[in-house]
Amino acid sequence: MSTAMMARAMCLEIVTEPTLAQHQAWWQDVVVDPIVPQVFTDLMPATLEAFLAPAERGDVRPTVFLDGDGEVLGAFWLHDYGSMQGHPYTWCGTYVRPQYRHRFSAAIGRAMRQVCTLYGYRTIFVACRHSNCAAQRFAERAFRLHRLGVYPQWAPFEGRLDDVVLFTARREDSALCWRVAAERAHAFQAWMANTHIVSVSR
């Protein structure tokens, strides 16, 4: 399914059921982009097949954005979504291809909000590595999120736990964001411990 969104002079197409070719278009940049290991956690899949496997189970909802000529600008995905006390929430991830990061950032940010609305999410969370200032600016200026603060040693980046900055779409969801972030932090720590055990056993 796809829908067009006018963004001032730009028209982006939101594709919620991308083809394999559309996924391959942005993934080919992921595998050669030097910033990827620095900005995504160590749990980021190494192959497109591994990335799409959770989507087939319904654990991830991937979307791609196209420009007016049908070029793939990047991808956006909802993940680790759930409900706490009847309150549905989602975490978000995104990858914008290098050549489109500045020109289309505002339009992509608005399209990301539209995708969340399409799936019925108003409670939206994002975590950016503390050193990733570009992603933090994008979260605030393009995605229009509110900065909450730093969660120390939250997730594994480049082999070690590192700090992230948390963002939320609505200030009233701040407490929920910290609570759910703590749950994810425990899961990351368990993953790190298991990875270390496997490495030692080898």
> 6-39 pLDDT, tens per residue?
444 467 999 999 999 999 999 999 999 999 999 9
What residue segments make up the domains of the chain, in order of their start? 2-201
Q: In the structure encoding, which two tokens stand for residue 31, read together?
A: 């595998």
Q: Distance (Å, rounded) from C-alpha 68 to C-alpha 49?
A: 28
List beta partners, residue 15: 2, 64
Give the single-character DSSP code of 56: H
Cα gap 66→5, rounded to integer Å: 10
Please tell me whether the overall predicted TM-score, pTM, comes out greater than 0.95 for this model. no
User: Which residues are paired to 160 by β-bridges?
Assistant: 157
Q: Residue 199: its pLDDT value, please?
A: 38
Residues in the chain, pLDDT under 50:
5-9, 197-202
Q: Could you tell me which residues are beta bridge partners of residue 13?
A: 4, 66
47: Cα separation from own chain's centroid: 16
- Give the closest residue to 166 by CA, choosing from 151, 176, 154, 179: 151
The secondary structure element, H or E, covering residue 199 is helix 174-201
CATH number of 2-201: 3.30.465.10, 3.90.1200.10, 3.40.630.30, 3.30.750.24? 3.40.630.30
Measure Cα distances from 23 to 19, 30, 47, 48, 50 in Å: 6, 11, 11, 8, 12
With the CA atoms of 175, 180, 185 and 187 taken in that order, what torsion angle do they form, in degrees rounded to the nearest 10? 160
What is the structure's pLDDT at 6?
A: 46
Cβ–Cβ < 8 Å for 155, 127: yes
The rounded distance, in Å, linking the Cα atoms of 116 and 92 is: 9
pLDDT cut 90: percent of the chain above it: 86
Q: What is the pLDDT of residue 193?
A: 87
